[in-house]
Amino acid sequence: MPKTTIRLEPSEVEHARDGRKRAFVVVLSGDRMGEMFPLKDGTKTTIGRGLQTDVRINDEGISRTHALVEEDGGLYFLCDAGSTNGTFANGNRVERQALREGDKIQIGASSVLKFTFHDDLDEDFQRNLYESALRDRLTGVFNRGYFNNRLESDVAFALRHGKPLSLVLFDIDHFKQVNDTYGHPAGDEVLRVLADRVEGTTRSEDIFARYGGEEFVLICRDVDALRASRAAYRILDTVGGKPFELDARTLSVTVSLGVADLGMLVRPTAEALIEAADAALYTAKRNGRNRVEIYDPEHEPTRLV
């Protein structure tokens, strides 16, 4: 530890970018828990489950445009927008009410938002905290908890709007041998490099997550199984097409992938979609690994579909 304090030049000291506090709503419970949304100055911020709302929350009890927050003279007012189930502030149903720091806004069955003010440092801290809760620590991709919540939400949206939704489930072939031969640090590095490579092949609207151990999953929105299989083949190529460099060693890694979509299922639920993709993954393993298989409900019956 240095015995004296190092004198820094003024240019070396990082100052807060802007000490001015701005208004936000932070989602405390329900869909998108932990996310924060800035409120617009001098205009209205809309809240609802519609695609065009500023704060979009996927909840069956929330209207397409459920509520809005409008700024007027430095004050923020919560207004109901003619919603079916009403807008509540601190437990009381409201039509229009001025908001104060810490007020709780409830819409739908379980969605609660908090009205608050943040400066730049507060905002950065809140966003980093939110990201760390959603991300797998080793690979940096989304974790299983976030995947589970997002899949439930995406399935509900796809069914409501008649949109396709597909799932790609895959794992690393013979990963135990990697750990046994090269050690767990090498196995961790394989997981990190693989996740980085695969993330580079995905669309911005896709959700890529570590499902557990050496298993990963990709939610493909608005595509059927055939189009999702193209994404699966890109993953197959990007993983197996280039060796993994581990210190002075070179290692070949392959993956097996299973693909399924909601349209294949008699009972289209998130759980059934996962099971169908897992059945296709099992077929890929059984047929020799390092391949893509699409779920076939006639030849791969599962308990849930």
CA atoms within a 13 Å half-sphere pointing along the CA-CB vector of 179? 10
Q: How far apart are CA 99 and CA 44, in angstroms?
A: 14
Coil, strand or helix: which one is 94?
strand
What DSSP character marks residue 264? G
Domain 22-133 shares a fold with domain 137-294: no
Which class is domain 137-294?
Answer: alpha beta
pLDDT digits (tens, 9 = 90+) for 62-98: 999 999 999 988 899 999 999 999 999 999 999 999 9
CB-CB contact of 129 with 136 (8 Å): no
- Break the chain into its structural domains and give their ranges: 22-133, 137-294
Give me the pLDDT at residue 305, please. Answer: 46
**CATH code for 22-133?**
2.60.200.20
Compute the average pLDDT of residues 121-136.
75
> Catalytic residue positions?
214
Rounded to an integer, what distance in angstroms lies between the CA atom of residue 76 and that of residue 98? 6
Which pLDDT band holds residue 304 (cuts at 50, 70, 90)?
Answer: very low
What Å distances lie between residue 263 and 166, 284, 297, CA to CA?
Answer: 9, 21, 11
Q: Looking at the whole model, is its pTM more than 0.75?
A: no
- Helix, strand, coil in percent for the chain, rounding step 5: 30, 30, 40
